[in-house]
Amino acid sequence: MTDSTKLKLYIETYGCQMNVSDSEIVVSILENKGYEVTEDINNADTILVNTCSIRENAEQRVWGRLDVFKQIKKKKPETIVGVIGCMAERLKEKLLEEEKIVDLVVGPDAYRDLPNLLETIESGHKAINVLLSKEETYADISPVRLDKNRISAFVSIMRGCNNMCSYCIVPYVRGGERSRDPQSIVREVEDLFAKGYKEVTLLGQNVDSYIWNKGNETVKFNQLLEMVAKVNPQLRVRFSTSHPKDMSDDVLYTMAMYNNICNHIHLPAQSGSTRVLEKMNRKYTREWYEGRINAIKKILPDCAISTDIMTGFPGETDDDHKDTLSLMEWVNYDIAYMFKYSERPKTYASRHLKDDVPNSVKSARLTEIIDLQNKLSEKSKKDDLGKTFEVLVEGVSKKSKDHLFGRNSQNKVVVFPKHNYKVGDYVFVEIVDCTSATLIGDIAV
């Protein structure tokens, strides 16, 4: 099959880093079957949208895109439109029934079946596979990297989740937890480094619970982290997401041993109230969370800490909200992802807890949380003034072609003069100024 006759695949990705990783797996599978990726949606033979169901607004964005695809299909009726990922798993046949434009519905564990499903559609039938798997990790598939800079890559180390937080739909749409063979992970990372990548992020819904058992061999997350760090000292290693109930001191000590493991931990708190955490089924208390923060600050004094904060969970009181604000101030987060609770179908909370916090109250509390985090983020940036960081160059600044930008080990964006540096270089930069979101520096002498 020549390039001119290859089928064209257009893919859009919404949601978390795991979805980005999944899209790269999908492209790999379909490229092996004669497809090639196009960035021109009007030139596509097949349009796939990789979806997220974590929050309602994520799904609303997809419904909006389907309206756009409908117009494309009116002009080119033979175009195949598919919904894949978490929203496909949640809604299943409903997508085929309600949206006449959707030909294909595929859940996160069924991507290997895509070539067969597409053949079914070409024969005049709609196709669906939303079977969840207890084994699928796609360990043998080499993802096709879709990033533009070819410097940073996501590497999935596990799939699914066993935590069953009462508000969360992930276990229902991604299935139970299973870890990937560590040797396949190391091989993928070695291949990325050989191709010029300078940074990998190890991905899992809960990386701290990674465990691989085979015969007498057991590999836990801290051991996997060390294996990846040893690939090459010039390769930066990040990971996401950690769970407070599972993060061990062994992981922190491993991070302290290797300079190329970045000093940044994303540790979602969700709430500062033990009462609310219990209703969320988070399986830790505020005091336990504070203990994990103390351990991070003791073992990794220069570590940046980011978090997720949810406001307006069922039954949340003003005192619970104040507990969240006080936790934020106590931790002094560098970054936070903040949002209002939205009820997700099938979760424990949707079935057993009344969504009783008025939206106006949720909005007011969220505003307070955002205002506080803006102050904390600004303080975090100002605390870096005068410090020198090693920065991995990621691209040219949007505001000035004479400046580059990159991130330091703490995952903070740094802008500095271009000189003769290029994407992929490591540069030592002294911080001389900052905005609320960015560090500004000069080349360190």
Give tens-digit pLDDT for 13-65. Answer: 998 899 999 999 999 999 999 999 999 999 999 999 999 988 888 888 999 99
Q: So what's the architecture of 388-443 in CATH?
A: Beta Barrel (2.40)
Q: Is the pLDDT of residue 199 over 70?
A: yes
Q: Considering only 33-47, 85-99, 237-251, 254-268, which range has the smallest mean pLDDT? A: 85-99
Tell me how crowded residue 194 is: count the other CB atoms within 10 A of its CB: 10
Tokens found for residue 42: 């009007």
pLDDT value for 2: 46
How far does the chain reach from its first CA to its final CA, in angstroms? 54
> Is 147-262 in CATH node 3.40.50.1400?
no
Alpha-carbon distance values, 369 to 101, 266, 366 (Å): 40, 18, 5
Separation between Cα atoms, residue 42 and residue 103, nearest integer Å: 17
Is the Cβ–Cβ distance between 442 and 416 less than 8 Å?
A: yes
Is the Cβ–Cβ distance between 256 and 214 less than 8 Å?
A: no
- Burial class, 197, CB count within 10 angstroms (exposed 0-12 / middle 13-18 / buried 19+): buried
- Burial class, 370, CB count within 10 angstroms (exposed 0-12 / middle 13-18 / buried 19+): middle
Q: What are phi and psi of 220, to 5 degrees?
A: -100, 175
pLDDT value for 205: 93
Separation between Cα atoms, residue 80 and residue 10, nearest integer Å: 10
Alpha-carbon distance values, 226 to 116, 129, 207 (Å): 39, 37, 14
Of residues 4 and 228, more confidence is placed in 228
Average pLDDT value for the chain: 94
Dihedral angle computed from the Cα positions of residues 337, 343, 348 and 350, in that order, rounded to the nearest 10 degrees:
170
pLDDT in tens, 272-295: 999 999 999 999 999 999 999 999
Separation between Cα atoms, residue 238 and residue 223, nearest integer Å: 14
pLDDT value for 3: 56
CA pseudo-torsion sign 38, 20, 51, 335: negative
pLDDT value for 1: 44
Q: What is the pTM of this model?
A: 0.92
In the 8-state DSSP scheme, what is residue 357?
S
- What is the mean pLDDT of the segment spanning 425-436? 95
> Is 3-129 in CATH node 3.40.800.10?
no
Domain boundaries, the chain: 3-129, 147-262, 388-443
